[in-house]
Structure 1
């Protein structure tokens, strides 16, 4: 399950690490293994890429949505979203790791990956906080 940063770097050609992340994402999507795409990650990707406060030239909405659709419509993709127990798991992770601020959003992504039995792939080393609490994760830093 890729994190928001993986999708953003793979999509935005103006990111220095674009080629490496695009190669990784393409290999995952085109590979033989099933993979998950979080609705939370997909929404955050569109929010970030289309935001003129983040990018001088933001991604047009139709292109951002099409990028997500291209991944989501792949036959090996499983779309995952929070269930009714999501809050309890997020809350437990926040308490266990003293997650505040930005780490609360990280706990939300970690909780979904844990609930779905997915390995979370991210450039963000902060996810190491959740490794002792059930998160399987891979630090993908190029």
Structure 2
């Protein structure tokens, strides 16, 4: 199973993104694929927080619209929402130590840990920072 990161979800949702068309096509294909795609729960929360943020977008997405998009992602048959367990920290802690990340980058380590715990080996993202985490390969689905 592969995972889809927050930035791909945001670009697919926001028509004002320069990557909108290619991200939207990728996400639509992934959602209807025979292959399961993981979306970390944390990415859904980030997605909601980003697209509804007036400091990021001049015209943010209405909360109701963002929530509807989250529900559509959750309901897609090809999507598995990846959640943390009581064992997640045992994957997270070594990722932090080996990658030496701190500050806001720990959120990427959290996403990487939940992906690895759920058997994900490839994350679709434009964020190369994920390449710091052993066992998780970064793939740009937009080009």
Change (3 A) 1:141 1:74: closer
CA distance in 2, matches of 1:95, 1:134: 14
Q: How many residues align?
A: 140
Please tell me whether the aligned partners of residues 6 and 21 of structure 1 are also in contact (alpha carbons under 8 angstroms): yes
- Counterpart in the other structure of 2:131: 128
Bigger relative CO (Cα 8 Å, ≥ 6 apart): 2
- Structure 1: which 5+ runs fail to align? none
| 4+ residue segments displaced more than 2 Å | 139-142
TM-score by length of 1: 0.92
- Counterpart in the other structure of 1:8: 10
TM-score by length of 2: 0.92
- Counterpart in the other structure of 2:104: 102
Give the RMSD, CA atoms, in angstroms. Answer: 1.3
- Structure 2: which 5+ runs fail to align? none
CA distance in 2, matches of 1:139, 1:113: 17
Tell me the SS of whatever aligns to 1:79. strand
